[in-house]
Amino acid sequence: MSWYIAIGIITIGVILTLIRALKGPTPADRMVAVDSMTTITTALLVLLGLYFKRYIYLDIALVYAVLAFVATLAVARYMEGGL
């Protein structure tokens, strides 16, 4: 039971950031929402890894965190006009 509550709370968080990503008036708003969404999703992946007892989920979370960081930096440079 406690698994479902914890995963449910985090999933609601992902949905809230998704609302902001769809609504956001400027591209910067959308990017901020997507950046937070990737961090929340990393935590969710680790939790799901323990729930399903699969060690491989941790590797996926690590690679996901690295790629999200690089992607955010790339989009930020693009918005600045330096790419």
Partner 1 sequence: MILNVIGWFLIYFGAVFLFLGALGIVRFPDVYNRLQAGTKCTTLGAFSAIIGVGILHPAWLAKTFIIALFILLTNPISSHALGRASYRSGVKLWEKSVVDKCKEFAECVEERNE
**Where does this chain bind partner 1 (CB under 8 A)?**
2, 6, 9-10, 12-14, 16-17, 19-20, 26, 28-29, 31-33, 35-36, 39-40, 42-43, 46-47, 49-50, 55, 58, 61-62, 65-66, 69, 72-73, 75-77, 79-81
Distances (CA, A) of 51 to 45, 61, 76: 10, 14, 35
Q: At closest approach, how far in Å is the CB of 6 from partner 1? A: 5
By CB neighbour count within 10 A (0-12 exposed, 13-18 middle, 19+ buried), where does 19 fall? exposed
Here the tokens at position 63 are: 């690679």
Q: At closest approach, how far in Å is the CB of 65 from partner 1? A: 6
